[in-house]
Structures are given as C-alpha cells and as structure tokens.
Amino acid sequence: MKKLNIYLLAFLMLSGTIFGANKLNVVTTLTTYANIAKYIGKDKITVASIVAGDQDAHFVRPKPSYAVLLSKADVFVSTGLDLELWVPTLVDMSKNDKIRSGQIGFVAASDGIKLLEKPSVLSRSEGGLHIYGNPHITTNPLNYKIIAENIEIGLEKNDPENAGFYEANLKEFKHMIDVHTFGEKLVALMGGKLLTKLANNGNLIDFLRSHNYQGKKMIDFLGGWLKEGMPFRGRKVVAYHKNWVYFKELFGIEIIGNVEPKPGIPPSPKHVEELVSEMRKNNVKVVLAANYFDEKKVTDICNKVGAVPVIVPIYVNGAPGTEDVFKLVNLWITKLNEAFKIADQK
Amino acid sequence: MKRNIVVLMIFAFLFATAKSYAQNADSLKIKEMEKRIEKLEKKQQQSEFQKILSEAAAASEEKKVEKKTKVFKSGQRSLQAINPEMSFTGEGYGQYSSNESETGTSGFYFRKLGLHIAGGLDPFSFMKAAVEFSPEGVELGEAYITWTKFIPAVSLTAGKFRQQFGVVNRWHVHAADQFDYPLALTTILGEDGLNQIGVSFDWLMPAITASANELTLQITNGQNEQLFAGSTFSFPSVLAHFKNYYDINRNTYLELGLTGVYGSNRVATSVGDDFRGRTILGGADLTLSWEPVNQSLYHSFVWRSELYYANKEISATDRIKALGGYSYFEYRFNEWWQAGFRFDYTQPFIQNNSDKEIRQFVPYITWQQSHWVRLRLQYNYLDGNVFEKATGTVRLQMVFAVGPHKHDRY
C-alpha cells in the first residue's frame, strides 16, 4: 500500500510537471497586467508578476530571484515605456533572449495607447520626466482593453494553437470592461467601441447630455463606473504624483496640483505651504495618492485645509479587496465618492 | 300575433348581427391603424437613433489635420536619436584633515567626471563604457561588450570591467554608499580594486541552494600592479564567484558570496631571472537588506560585510599575506536622509605584517536632494600600529548624475 502511494505521488508530480509544462509561462512587471493576462489566458497560462501591488514601479531593485523568474518566462509583459527602468538589467540577468525587446516573447502593454503629457522640454529640471509621455496608463480602465489586446497578441504568437481561445476571452474581457464602464443599457444601445472613442476624446458626457432618445436624456442610459463617478466629475483634487492623469481624462476630475513639486522630487516645506494655499483658494477638499507614498505627508496636508485623504492602491492586489481590475476601479470610485461626501459635510 | 313575434325576432337577430359586424370592422380598422402608428413610431425612433449614432460617430472622430503646403526635409544626416545613451557623473569634495601627510592637503578637490555610454549593438549584444576624467588625467574605467546569451543561461562579457570580487569591487566609487572604497579593498586589491581586461562568463544557475544562484568565471590579464604582474603580465588570472541569494520575505533578502582568484605575478629576482610566483586571493561577502516594498522611498536598512585575503609569492621563500575586511550598516530615515557607519580592518600589504594592523571608523550621513544629486558628510578616523599617529578627516562630498544614468545595484 505504501509502495502504491509512492507511485501515485510520483505519477501526480510527473503529470503535474507535464501539464504545467504545457502552459505558457507569463511574467509581468505589474500585477494589473498579470490580472488582465489571466483573463485572456485563463487556464492555458501561469502568471507571475514582479512589482507588488502596493509598490512604486519606478523603484524596483533588480534582484536575482526576479532574474530566475524571467529566465523561465515564455511571455514577458512590461509597460514598454520608461516606467520600469530596471527591466533591461533584469532581462540581461535572466539570459532569456526570447523576452528581449522586439523578440517573440516580449509584450509592450502600452502599445497603441494614446500617451498623455508628452514633455516638450527634455530636461531633468522637470524632475523625473518620462520622455515618451506619462506611463501610468493603468489608471484608466478603458486602457485595459488595449493592454488586453496586446497581451492576447503575445499569447497568440507564442501559442498559436489556442488563438481562438484567447480571442474569445479577449472579446469577453473587453465587453466586461465596456459594461463596467458605461453600463449595460448604453453598451447595448451604442456599442462599446463607439462609446470608448467618445470617452477617449472627452466628448461622451457632453454628447449624452445633449441628446435625447425615446423621450429620455441619453445620459439617463449611462451606468457603470462613469455613472458612479458622476458625483465627483468636474471636482478639484490634489494628487501626490502624476499617476492619475489617465483617470482624470475618463472621470473628469480636475487635478489642480501635486504634492511632489516635480515628478520624483520630494516636497519641500515651501512647496507644501504653496500647495496648501492653492488648495484653500480653490476649495480643494480631496487629496488622492497611491498607497506607496508617505501617508503622513498626505494626512498632514489634509489636516491643514480640512481635506480628506484618498489613499488607494494603484495596481491590482495593492490592498485587500483589489484582487482584480474590476474590484480595483470599484475601490477608486467608492473611496472618492466617500471622500467628497465627507468633505461636503464638513 | 305569433307571426308578428317571429318577424320581430328575425329583425332583431339581423340587426344584432349587422351591429356586431360593424363593430368588428371598426375594431379591425383600429388595430390596423395602431399597427401602422407603431410601425411609424419605430421607424421614427430608428431614424432618430441612426441620427444619434451618426452624430456620435462624428463626435468621436478627431479633428482632421488641415492640408497645407509642406517643406520636405531629409533625416539622413540627423540620426543622433540612435546614439547610445550617454550620461555624466561628477564627484567633488572638500576635506579637512588632522594629518595632511597621510590624506593630502585640506581643501577642495574635484575627484572625477565620468562619461558613461551604453547601448545595444545588435539583437545579440550590448556595450557599456565609462571614461573617467580626473585632475591626474583621463582613464578608461570600463569598456565592454556583453553577449546576453552566449550559451543557454550564460552571458559572455569581453573587455575591461570591474571584477566580481565580492560586491563593492564591482561598483564605481561614485555609486558606493560611502565616499571611499573600504580600506581592506584598496589595501589588498590595490588603490582602484580589481579592474582588468579579459572575459567574464556569468551563469544564472538553476536555483539549487537559494532563491537564486549565480556563478561567475572571469579570465583576465594579470595586470593589477599590486597583486599580479602589472604591465609585464604574461599569464592570466582566473576569478570565480559563487552567489547565493535568498528572498527571506518580500521586504528582506540575504546574499552570501564566495570569491577565489588565482593568478601569476612576475617579480625580478636578485640574480636577474624572472620568478613567476603565484597569487591567491579569497573573499567572502554577506549582505542583509531590508526595504519595505511599499515604502522603499522612505525606509531601508542594509548590513554588508566582506572579507579579503591575499597570499602573494614574491620569491621562492617570501610571501605577502594580508587579511582584511569591513562591515557597515546604513539606515534610510526618509526620502532625504540616510546615515551609516563602517568599520574597516586590514593588515598592510607588506611582508611580515602579522603584528601590524590598520583600523578605520567611518560614520557618515547622506542627504539626497533628488535621485540625481546628493551630498554626503563623512568622518574617517584612521588608526593602527603602522602609523605614528591617528588621522581624522572630515569630508563633504557632492555627487551628481546628468542624463539617463542608471545603476544595476539591488
């Protein structure tokens, strides 16, 4: 009996290895990319990510254990911009040529996304500037559809046999994003593609407000995150770092200033003083920050002007209850609504 | 009478039938009209919706760029965008010393201006180079090409490079955590450490004993003046470094390394013949690093220690044996400030040094203005039985980097 158990165990381990070997091994920089990859690859892939959900993706140490992870990767997904500057070092350390830029296993998640804030002056006097444009693309859920398309291409290139499977999952994921963003009724009426185009051009809300259908204002058909975000549309906030610009584009908040005087430059007392006075002048009641920044600094600023801090993870799994992209965006919107509600009652 | 009743009944029946027929006809007509209205309404809605959709499509389109007369320009002589990445680092300092014969005059110095160049050469290899400008002249710090995958899991580097003897020897001094290299490094490996021309094979091994294992094998000229034959080298030196890296948890790692070097030195004997002696080096390194991943900008702690040992045959009977090491810790308080303390110990690199020793105590504090500019205040207290008196030196160092300068440290 004991012998039989050993054989059984050996068989299970062997079969696990074999079945595991059939799966594409996907490694991503961000947990958000890992989560999207899982929606597309489902049980045909294994996914691991390097940056923790509550970590600043700019500053990751290229540790040897990450190189080991990358050495086994079939597909490597990174933003492809100058967000994760430590990536080339890790790829070099991994000795895995398949995942180098331009090779079959490399996916640039940002490809095809209209980048915002392209700098006109390339100088460090602008702080930690990003020469291709702002790389914090994951704060706009509509960008997830393009990221998913890029990941699907990467999976398909490396596993063409399952192309149909990945394509079907991509379609399903994109529909889920549309429904979550615009609501089911509006998606059924106008289609996700057209709505996305309107939203990306900043015309969606005005369009819906200015048109009627079936005797109703079209804005009444709006649902999903955009409807939930209507209470704070047009309202002013201060952000810690410039990582909410894509969110701002979709949800229409107005960011009047940043805690960092320039990206990557720690705030001096003088800058904080100026920011506080600007907040008072503009009646800014909310400070929005990713949860890897100094919480104390955010609350100190808030206390000075009676504002409410919204400290949230910027990536999937950055806090409990953000296990996927849908829960993450839900959290952003819920926390902002709560903060404005509290601020208005003050 | 009976007949009249029958006629009346027939008449009533006919009337009722006619009425019901007329009512049915009306109802049919109404239904038909209702259908027609519904159809018209649907049609109207459809056209209304079509209009909305076409307006939506129009609104979603970006404004077209106006066609205008263009001046056409050629880019064939403007390909600077494919130049390699270039950056400069600079280092200067002011010092006050209690013993200027040991450290040099008190005053201001500019130590080095480094030009760093890096870029991909082709799909298979990349290069890095560092040229150092100092008041003493220009020196080639490093220049090498790396084939990223020479054979599976192994990269090959060829050129001049700082060698993988422990940890700190690999770094440029501007990237070190203190103003200077540890005393044991400069005393045993030479003023600038081990930095020779040759090839390096770096194998990312299957992780056997740790979270990651790496084996580095370097075959270089034995051109280090102190350890090998300097410019008269004829035999290579061989270095092997074995790295064990452990992820203790998501914030903490431990790294243990062992280094061995074997080479030949060439010393003229008194009778004029060449004596080709051996030089054997050994080293051990330990790093414990804690950095909370979600607060890495604000807090970190590192404890790093290394041991260096050299055994150089200078004649058939004579040897220089020297042992040294350092240990330092550093703590980051916030995004601006970090402070640390290093202890150095070494035997001087001379014969018959068993009763001789040099010690150094090095407290320091670093202010990080940004990722590209930092100032450091450091005190070196140098003592030992090889000196007539102890030396205290205070230095205020500034380090800057301009351009896309990056460090591969972790």
Report how far residue A92's alpha carbon sits from residue A71's, in angstroms, rounded to the nearest whole number.
10
Specify whether A243 is located in the same domain as A142.
no
The whole-angstrom separation of Cα A45 and Cα A158 is 11
Last residue of a domain, one of A137, A153, A175: A175
* Shared domain check, A23 and A142: yes
Residue A225 to residue B132: CA distance in whole angstroms: 56
Q: Round to whole Å and give the CA distance between A307 and A272.
A: 14
Cβ neighbours, 10 Å, residue B203: 17
Rounded-to-integer distance, Cα A78 and Cα A138, Å: 12
Per-position pLDDT tens, chain B of length 410:
566 676 677 777 676 666 666 677 778 888 888 888 888 877 777 787 888 888 888 877 765 556 667 778 777 887 888 899 999 999 999 999 999 888 889 999 999 999 999 999 998 999 999 999 999 999 999 999 999 989 999 999 999 999 999 999 999 999 999 999 999 999 999 999 999 999 999 999 999 889 999 999 999 999 999 999 888 777 899 999 999 999 999 999 999 999 999 999 876 555 556 667 899 999 999 999 999 999 999 999 999 999 999 999 988 889 999 999 999 999 999 999 999 999 999 999 999 999 999 999 999 999 999 989 999 999 999 999 999 899 999 999 999 999 888 777 88
Residues A169-208 have pLDDT tens digits of 999 999 999 999 999 999 999 999 999 999 999 999 999 9
Residue A102, judged by CB atoms within 10 A of its CB (0-12, 13-18, 19+), counts as exposed
CB A174 within 8 A of CB A193: no
| Assigned token pair, A300 | 């100190």
Where does residue B402 rank: exposed (0-12), middle (13-18), buried (19+ CB within 10 A)?
middle
Do B319 and B327 touch, CB atoms closer than 8 A? no
What pLDDT, on a 0 to 100 scale, did the predictor assign at position A15?
Answer: 46
> B56 vs A124: CB contact, 8 Å cut-off?
no
How many whole angstroms separate alpha carbon B259 and alpha carbon B245? 15
Q: Which CATH architecture has domain B99-104+119-127+143-402?
A: Beta Barrel (2.40)
On chain B, the residues whose CB falls within 8 A of the CB of A291 are 294
Domain ranges in chain B are 99-104+119-127+143-402
Distances, alpha carbon B224 to alpha carbons B186, B194, B230, B276, in Å = 12, 7, 5, 15
Q: What is the DSSP letter of A147?
A: H
Q: Which of A224-228, A251-255, B315-319 has the lowest mean pLDDT?
A: B315-319
**B149 touches A: beta carbon within 8 Å:** yes
**Which residues in chain B have their CB less than 8 angstroms from residue A207's CB?**
55-56, 59
CB count, 10 Å around CB of B320?
22
Reference B189, options B237, B154, B149, B257; nearest CA is B237
Instruction: Point out the residue among A61, A194, A292 whose CB comes nearest to the CB of B294.
Output: A292
Question: Do A120 and A227 share a domain, yes or no?
Answer: no
Q: And the tokens for A292?
A: 């890897």
Which H or E run includes B386? Answer: none
**What count of CB pairs under 8 Å joins A to B?**
122
**Which of left, alpha, beta for A121 (phi over 0: left; psi -120 to 50: alpha)?**
beta
- Residue A13 pLDDT: 47
Q: Taking a contact as any Cβ pair under 8 Å apart, which residues of chain B between 188 and 227 contact chain A?
A: 202, 204, 207, 211-212, 214
Q: pLDDT tens, A7-24?
A: 544 444 444 444 455 899
Q: Report which of residues A125 and B121 the model is more confident about.
A: B121
What is residue A228's three-state secondary structure?
Answer: helix
CATH number for position A277: 3.40.50.1980
Q: What is the chain B residue with the closest CA to A54? A: B294
* Residue environment code for B3-20, b if the CB has 16+ CB neighbours within 10 A, otherwise e: eeeeeeeeeeeeeeeeee
| DSSP reduced 3-state for B296 | coil
Report yes or no: B340 and B330 within 8 Å, Cβ to Cβ: yes
- Whether residues A161 and A234 share a domain: the answer is no
Q: Are A82 and A135 in contact (CB under 8 A)?
A: yes
- Are B144 and B127 in contact by the 8 Å Cβ rule? The answer is yes
Full DSSP string of B61-123? SPPPPPP--------TT--GGGSPEEEEEEEEEEEEES-HHHH--SEEEEEEEEEEEEEEEET
CA dist A44 and B334 (Å) reads 44
Bin B230: left if φ > 0, else alpha if -120 < ψ < 50, else beta.
left
**DSSP category for residue A99:** G
CB A33 within 8 A of CB A152: no
Q: Does B83 touch chain A (CB under 8 A)?
A: no
Q: Is residue A315 part of a domain?
A: yes
Has residue A254 been placed in a domain? yes
Mention every residue, 6+ apart, whose C-beta is less than 8 A from residue B361. B341, B342, B343, B344, B380, B381, B383
CA distance B279 to chain A (A): 30
CB pair distance less than 8 Å for A95 and B126: no
Same domain for A171 and A256, yes or no, is no
3-class secondary structure, B190:
coil
Please report whether residue A212 resides in a domain. Answer: no
Interface test with B, best of A30, A51, A63 (most B CBs within 10 A): A63
The pLDDT value recorded for residue A12 is 45
**What pLDDT shows up at residue A204?**
95
Dihedral through CA B249, CA A88, CA B201, CA B128, nearest 10? Answer: -130
Chain A contact for B43, CB < 8 A? no
d(CA A259, CA A240): 4
Q: Which chain B residues touch A67 with a CB distance below 8 Å?
A: 204, 212
Using a CB-CB cut-off of 8 Å, the residues of chain B touching A124 are 372, 402
* DSSP-derived 3-state class of residue A205: helix
Q: How many CB atoms lie within 10 A of CB B31?
A: 10
Domain with A287 in it: 223-345
Q: With CA atoms as reference, report the closest residue to A134 among A115, A120, A147, A113.
A: A115
B146 interaction partners in chain A (CB closer than 8 Å): 92
Q: Phi and psi at residue A207, in whole multiples of 5°?
A: -60, -45
Judged by average pLDDT, the poorest of A75-89, A291-305, B32-46 is B32-46
CA-CA distance, A239 to A302, in Å (whole number)? 12
**What pLDDT score was predicted for residue B18?**
66
Contacts of A89 (CB under 8 A, 6+ apart): A62, B406, B408
**Does residue A200 lie within any of the structural domains?**
no
> Domains in chain A: how many in total?
2
Q: Which of B407, B209, B206 is nearest to A68 (CA)?
A: B206
Which of B49, B50, B60, B124 should be substituted to probe chain A, the one whose Cβ sees the most A Cβ atoms within 10 Å? B60
Q: What is the pLDDT of residue B274?
A: 63
The reported pLDDT for the residue numbered B394 is: 98
Whole-angstrom distance, CA of residue B330 vs CA of residue A60 = 19
**Same domain for A19 and A117:** yes
Q: Does A345 score more than 60 pLDDT?
A: yes
| Residue where a domain terminates, one of A108, A141, A175 | A175
For chain A, percent of residues with pLDDT exceeding 70: 94
CA distances from B145 to A188, B159, B160, B203, B214 (A): 57, 6, 9, 16, 20
Q: Identify the top-confidence range among A64-68, A212-216, B1-5.
A: A64-68
Name the amino acid, one letter, at A14: L
Distance between CA atoms of B194 and B144, rounded to whole angstroms?
A: 15
**Strand-pair category, A75-78 with A106-108:** parallel
